[in-house]
Amino acid sequence: MSPEEEAKNVPLLGVDKLVKRFGGFAAVDGASFHLMPGEVLGLVGPNGSGKTTCINVISGLYPPNAGQVFLEGKPIGGLPSHKLVRLGINRTFQVPQPFLALTVRENVEIAATYGGPDSKADIDAILTSLELDAYRSRAAADLNSAQQKMLDLARALATAPRLLLVDELAAGLHPAELQRVARRLRELAASGIAILVVEHLMGFIGEVTDRVIVLNAGREIFEGTLSQAVRDPQVVSVFLGGSDVH
Amino acid sequence: MRKAVRHLIFILAPVVVAFAVLPLIYSNHLLLFNFVVFLVLAQGINVIYGFTGYLPFGYVGFFGAGAYGFSLLVLHAHAHPLPALAAGAVAALLLGVILTPLLRLEGAYFAISTLAASEAVVQIISNPNLTEITQGPYGIRLSGVYAPRLAYGMAVAVLAFTIVVVIYLRNSRFGLALQAIRENPISAGMAGVNVVRARVIAWLLSALIAGLIGAVYAWYISVFYPETVFDLGMSIFAIVFALFGGTATIIGPLGGVAILYGVYNGIGIAAPQYFQLIYGALIMLLVLFLPNGILSLLKRRGFNVP
């Protein structure tokens, strides 16, 4: 294999035997998975299976207790968030976390300015693509919850991420919004961004992901497509509570 | 940056000119000096609380550190006031650096811990065993440096510096980053802001501001006790003035001091027997009806308040 081909085969994100404990409880307990550029990976599992903790560790909110996170083969576990952002990792939050007193545009502007040396994001284009352009001068506090989720996404996109971690972006959106978000995520993946999606809405997961990892008690128990997952007896009986998956 | 120039011309310049001219037409120079001191302290609170979101009840600790840094250099090294002012600034910065770990705390915990820190410093300084160094509880008596006019001029210069800092924060990406930290430090990190570094810079800037004016204060009054320059009341006043006007703006704290400290002195002269009653009621009304300061009245109507 030539060096270029080898480089192509290095995953953008590698998670290797990751452990994150809170006191005596291991929220993530040896999870391993990887993600290629342009791929959309779903992270599913029951509540408390460690999905969000995985995202929190990858995005630098907590350092791992053991194991390692790799970006293009380089260890990044334990780096602070702002450094990871400049390396090309960003995320959205389950409960949106905008800068409430600042305007919508300022929310995105901060990320575009500080997000990294290569970040020359077109703020207005990002706002337009997420249908926030009409609110650019309004305070983020004036937005509804769905719009605040889009603002989280806009802030992440303004840092020109190569890896986007999406934590329950779909929850609480109505069907038309869901369609739009799914389409947008597919477009982002098509542009080469790797996306890790944590989600409970299986329809949404089926629509946007190429592959899913099923986590239970902080460990992966299945890897494959969602249609394979829903037929996997272990996944179905233990984690999705039956065969009737929607 | 054109906006910043406008702010320099229409806010900084009039304030500096006013305080340069006022001593010529108003004879109560001590009151004017106190106005300048509170304008500086309120803007210092604005930097660390208004922009960055950390409310230090013990803010006066930096003021006292500045006063003692100045005085000790004058007492022991017979230094000229100007290098002694630098010593005041350094003392406050050092205290700021020592207290940096407090920034790991949030909200009330941070506020109370700074209060405790300020009390600890005053206890150390007023310890009778340290009388040879700090004059202990007997306080400072400076001789040979008394120059109230020069000290007043220096206070106005410190005020000008402070307003320039706030104008910078109001118009720069760094100021926006601080506000992002105030709103949500986790999201600020995800926007690429180095949260730890930015808030330490804001903390040290606010310490420097209070330290400088503390040093000038010591120079101006020349005789004081530890309790004078570590008076919790000064922290409270500066905080209330800044909040009354409206934080994270340039003119809010300026207006807050002008109105509230003006009223304070007005009541003190006109109706001293009702002083506590009127002043307390005023602050209660403010907290109840305008918790975001008087400027929030304008902001609500869509004005972009500088």
Q: pLDDT digit string (tens) for B73-112? A: 999 999 999 999 999 999 999 999 999 999 999 999 999 9
The greatest distance separating any two alpha carbons of chain A, rounded to the nearest whole angstrom, comes to 55
Does A130 map to a domain? yes
Name residues 148-187 of chain B within 8 A of A (Cβ): 173, 176-177, 179-180, 182-184, 186-187
Asked if A71 contacts A88 with a C-beta cutoff of 8 angstroms, the reply is: yes
Does A245 map to a domain? no
Does A49 map to a domain? yes
CA-nearest residue to A140 within chain B is B183
Does A244 map to a domain? no
Residue B195: which of A59, A82, A155 has the nearest Cβ?
Answer: A82
Looking at the structure, tell me whether residues A68 and A189 fall in a common domain. yes
Looking at the structure, tell me whether residues A104 and A219 fall in a common domain. no
What pLDDT, on a 0 to 100 scale, did the predictor assign at position A122?
A: 87
What pLDDT, on a 0 to 100 scale, did the predictor assign at position B299?
A: 83
Q: Using the 3D structure, point to which of A132, A160, A188 is the last residue of a domain.
A: A160
Q: What distance in Å separates residue B248's CA from the closest CA in chain A?
A: 11
pLDDT along chain B (306 residues), means of 10: 91 97 96 98 98 96 98 96 97 98 95 97 96 95 94 98 98 96 97 97 98 98 96 94 94 95 88 83 85 86 84
Looking at the structure, tell me whether residues A174 and A149 fall in a common domain. no
What is the number of other CB atoms lying within 10 angstroms of the CB of residue B237?
Answer: 22
Looking at the structure, tell me whether residues A127 and A71 fall in a common domain. no
Looking at the structure, tell me whether residues A18 and A83 fall in a common domain. yes
Does A246 map to a domain? no
Q: What distance in Å separates residue B196's CA from the closest CA in chain A?
A: 10
Looking at the structure, tell me whether residues A53 and A78 fall in a common domain. yes
Q: Judge: A80–B189 Cβ closer than 8 Å, yes or no.
A: yes
What pLDDT, on a 0 to 100 scale, did the predictor assign at position B302?
A: 79
Q: Using the 3D structure, point to which of A137, A160, A183 is the last residue of a domain.
A: A160
CA-nearest residue to B185 within chain A is A99
Looking at the structure, tell me whether residues A148 and A170 fall in a common domain. no
Q: What distance in Å separates residue B11's CA from the closest CA in chain A?
A: 23
3-class secondary structure, B20: helix
pLDDT beneath 70, residues of chain A: 1-8, 116-120, 238-246
Name residues 123-152 of chain A within 8 A of B (Cβ): 152
Range of the domain at A121: 94-160
Q: Using the 3D structure, point to which of A160, A175, A190 is the last residue of a domain.
A: A160
What is the number of other CB atoms lying within 10 angstroms of the CB of residue B258?
Answer: 18
Looking at the structure, tell me whether residues A178 and A67 fall in a common domain. yes
CATH number of the domain at A225, please: 3.40.50.300
Predicted TM-score (pTM) of the model is 0.93
pLDDT digits (tens, 9 = 90+) for B33-50: 999 999 999 999 999 999
Q: What are the phi and psi torsion angles at A67 (to 5°)?
A: 80, -175
What pLDDT, on a 0 to 100 scale, did the predictor assign at position A7?
A: 60
What pLDDT, on a 0 to 100 scale, did the predictor assign at position A8?
A: 66
Looking at the structure, tell me whether residues A146 and A207 fall in a common domain. no
Looking at the structure, tell me whether residues A113 and A197 fall in a common domain. no
**Number of domains chain A contains:** 2
Q: What distance in Å separates residue B179's CA from the closest CA in chain A?
A: 8
Looking at the structure, tell me whether residues A119 and A208 fall in a common domain. no
What is the number of other CB atoms lying within 10 angstroms of the CB of residue B114?
Answer: 26
B194 interfacial to chain A (CB closer than 8 Å): yes
Residue A97: which of B176, B182, B184 has the nearest Cβ?
Answer: B184
Q: Judge: B176–A101 Cβ closer than 8 Å, yes or no.
A: no
pLDDT digits (tens, 9 = 90+) for B176-200: 999 999 999 999 999 999 999 999 9
Looking at the structure, tell me whether residues A110 and A125 fall in a common domain. yes
Tell me the ipTM for this assembly: 0.92
Does A125 map to a domain? yes
pLDDT digits (tens, 9 = 90+) for A105-122: 999 999 999 996 665 678
Residue A86: which of B184, B187, B192 has the nearest Cβ?
Answer: B192
